Amino acid sequence: QVHLVESGGGLVQPGGSLRLSCTISGRVSGFYVGNWYRQAPGNQREWVARISTVGSPGYADSVKGRFTISRDNAKNTVYLQMNSLKPEDTAVYYCNIWYRGNDYWGQGTQVTVSS
């Protein structure tokens, strides 16, 4: 079955940067839509970014101009480059893909932005 493995989370100061990676296993072709979501304690899960099967990105207003989603089909990996991080970006970040009519989720990785 499809399995998503995330990495790159951690603690960073305000204004800093992190790059999250989501590696997809299970012999998945490049024909999938990738998403990043985040959820802070007590909050609803929030959609952050999406990348289409052909690499077209979309972003939530809260992260536009600061985050960049990308993909490497040869590596079956979706990335989220996060710049100019703010304390309100603190959350568990989840990778999600849509593939052949089904959606799959990663385990989540903690991002903490604090001085």
Provide the percentage of residues in the chain whose pLDDT is more than 70. 100
Listed range (10-19, 25-34, 44-53, 101-110) with the worst mean pLDDT:
25-34
| pLDDT, tens digit, 9 for 90 and up, residues 27-74 | 788 789 999 999 999 999 999 999 999 999 999 999 999 999 999 999
Distance CA 108, CA 110 (A): 7
pLDDT given at position 26: 87
Distance CA 82, CA 51 (A): 15
